[in-house]
A = this chain, B = another copy of it.
Amino acid sequence: MLEARLSQTLLLKKIVDALKEIIAQGTLDCSENGLELQSMDNSHVSLVALSLASDCFEKFHCDRNVSLGLDLKSLGKVLKCANSDDAVTIKAVDRPEKITLSFESDGKERTADYELKLLNLDQDHMEIPKKDYTCFIQLPSSEFARICRDMSMFDESLTIACSSKGIRFLAKGDLGTANIQLSAGTAMDVSIEVQEPVTQSFAGRYLNTFTKATPLADRVKLYLSDERPLLVEYPIEDYGHIRYYLAPKVNDPDF
């Protein structure tokens, strides 16, 4: 049985908004440690992984592991019905066929209960080894979102070139070329750690969907290494994260 209570629905809204554009359905694995969800995106190119520790909750009770097959669009609709500052309680029995979300306003004059049918999803949980990366960048998540959006006007590919001098984002298309350069510094709060420079190209549209997680975190972490997928991590306070993995394009970039 699962019973998990958040004092504010806002966090759950942000998490579901971050996921629902990239995966239509996913299995939420609940254990005494907290909640985990891992899934390939709808087109089976990138991987998304959510981790949320039980500490994140005002109240968390899960005596037996439960797997909840969720339709994320439906869950998003239900969350739209809640105020951001409502408390929310998620409930499911063992071997559940549905999940209950109960929202309470301050003072409890208004309570709203929603039951959502669960889905039967086949999903293998992959072990993703968190190896060392040769480049580690932290930048404001809003700046990363803006760069991904701007670059996608120029080309469907976006090249990230990371060296000790800074990070460059490059795109080249029919319209012309774009070249954005960030250097480490205090004003923009950009930090760069480089053991070996890396230049890789990615499909911009996946990066753009990753940035739906922007409201979750002020700063985003990018991890790059040659011949390894890019890792884009949005921390969820001290309680967990959403991580996105995207393989680089095989052809060398023109830059």
Instruction: Enumerate chain A interface residues (CB-CB to B < 8 A).
Output: 74, 77-78, 80-81, 98, 105-117, 143, 150, 153, 175-183, 185, 187-188, 190
Contact = CB atoms under 8 A, between A and B. Distances in A.
Nearest to A190: B109
A117 to B, nearest CB: 6
A117 B110 CA distance: 48
Contacts of A106: 187
A160 to B, nearest CB: 15
Contacts of A78: 175-176, 178
14 contacts: A74-B176, A80-B153, A81-B150, A98-B176, A105-B187, A105-B188, A109-B185, A109-B187, A110-B180, A110-B181, A110-B188, A112-B150, A112-B179, A114-B176
A74 B175 CA distance: 7
A164 to B, nearest CB: 16
Contact of A182 (B80, B110, B182, B183): B110
A115 B188 contact: no
Nearest to A108: B183
Contact of A180 (B112, B117, B143, B188): B112
B188 A109 contact: yes
A143 B109 CA distance: 12
A101 to B, nearest CB: 9
B81 A112 contact: no
A80 B154 CA distance: 12
A177 B81 contact: no
A150 B79 CA distance: 10
A58 to B, nearest CB: 21
Nearest to A180: B112
B179 A113 contact: yes
A109 B139 CA distance: 12
A13 to B, nearest CB: 14
A54 B117 CA distance: 54
Nearest to A114: B178
A78 to B, nearest CB: 8
A106 B185 CA distance: 12
A77 B114 contact: no
B116 A182 contact: no
Nearest to A172: B115
A201 to B, nearest CB: 18
